[in-house]
Structure 1
Amino acid sequence: MIEEGKETKKKSGKMKWIIMLLILLLLGGGGYFAYTTYFQKSTETAEPQDVQLEEVDPSDSQVVTLPSFLVNLSDPLGRRYIKLTLDVEVASPEAAQVLESASAKVRDAVILLLSSKSYADLASLESKILLKNELVTRLNQIIGSSKVVRVYFTELVIQ
């Protein structure tokens, strides 16, 4: 009878270790999943596109200042936002007028683009340059082919 009690204690001691090991494995797997989903930088890199820009005479180009954008970022871990003020260099005075007349479309496109980004998407220098290129592409889609030459960030706050 004494021997049966010792075997039961040995089995229950082993069972505790097995349960603790399973819990530890589940926590480790959950931690790895959370790390790869939320913290690891995206390995997808956009391939540089060969954009055929028209030759722009610097004397013809104009810079248009857009009003500031204050947009919530798509960040699952907290409340983050970006405040961005842009200067847009366009190829001609006519392109500047087209850009100003399409200001609602321009603001909509910029807000949608910024709100789709997370803090991790905008943290590095390369990602900011990529954002500039995306903005040029979006603005050219709105106002016509290759009228936007460059985008300058005059104010950029990510918080």
Structure 2
Amino acid sequence: MADAGQPEKKKSKLKWIIVLVLLVIVLGAGGFAAWKFFLSAPEDPAGQQLPLDAGAAGEVSPKDARVVTLPTFLVNLADPLGRRYIKLTLDVEVVSPAAAAELESSQAKVRDAIILLLSSKSYVDLAPLENKILLKNEIVTRLNQIMGGSKVVRVYFTELVIQ
């Protein structure tokens, strides 16, 4: 009877070793995926924002830059129940007084682009800080598309309520 129990113990140990090796592989793959996709995401907004700032800082002096305050946006979020909304007020820094005048003259296009962008987001999309930075960069990109060129330097959130 002692011999019959011995192979079962070896099989039992072998099963535990296999389970531990698989566990280490799964944890390693999960850790790599988290590092690759989640931890590298905060670097993207900074990486996207720096070229805009660096290019603008090299071409525009601070005395030429202007800040334009846009009216408050109150937009329903892409929520299945339709109960969440965002209230956002922003200031837009542009490279020159001419760009500020152009931004003010194209208010309808600007409001439309920002409303469409905000209404496509859900609460989960906007909750983390990194995603708010990404939203700022998306707004800068959309405004530059409307105005043609790199006239918008950065966007400042002066009021942000997500409910």
Q: TM-score, normalised by structure 1?
A: 0.68
The yes-or-no answer on 1:136 pairing with 2:140 is: yes
Partner of 2:69 in structure 1? 65
CA deviation after TM superposition for structure 1 residue 144, in Å: 1.6
Tell me the SS of whatever aligns to 1:74: coil
Tell me the SS of whatever aligns to 1:109: helix
Percent sequence identity is: 74
Between the aligned partners of 1:109 and 1:73, the Cα distance in structure 2 is 15
Q: Is the 8 A contact 2:140 2:154 kept in 1?
A: yes
Partner of 1:120 in structure 2? 124
CA deviation after TM superposition for structure 1 residue 151, in Å: 0.3
Tell me the SS of whatever aligns to 1:156: strand
CA RMSD of aligned residues (A): 1.9
Between the aligned partners of 1:86 and 1:144, the Cα distance in structure 2 is 20
Q: Is the 8 A contact 2:76 2:82 kept in 1?
A: no
Pick one of 145, 149, 156 that aligns with 1:145: 149
CA offset digits 1:104-149 (Å, max 9, x no partner):
0000000000000000000011000000000000000001211000
Between the aligned partners of 2:145 and 2:81, the Cα distance in structure 1 is 32
CA deviation after TM superposition for structure 1 residue 75, in Å: 1.3
Q: How many residues are matched?
A: 117
Report the residue type matching 1:87 in the other structure: D
Pick one of 56, 79, 84 that aligns with 2:88: 84
Report the residue type matching 2:74 in the other structure: L
- Structure 1 unaligned regions, length at least 5: 1-42
CA deviation after TM superposition for structure 1 residue 70, in Å: 0.2
Identify which range, 90-99 or 54-63, moves more after superposition. Answer: 54-63
Identify which range, 43-52 or 137-146, moves more after superposition. Answer: 43-52
- Structure 2 unaligned regions, length at least 5: 1-36
Of Structure 1 and Structure 2, the greater helix share is in 2
The correspondence of residues 72-111 of structure 1 with structure 2, limited to 5 A, is 72-111=76-115
Runs of 4+ in 1 over 6 A off after TM superposition: none
CA deviation after TM superposition for structure 1 residue 77, in Å: 4.4
CA offset digits 1:16-61 (Å, max 9, x no partner):
xxxxxxxxxxxxxxxxxxxxxxxxxxx6869554845332211100
Partner of 1:38 in structure 2? none
Higher Rg of the two aligned structures: 1
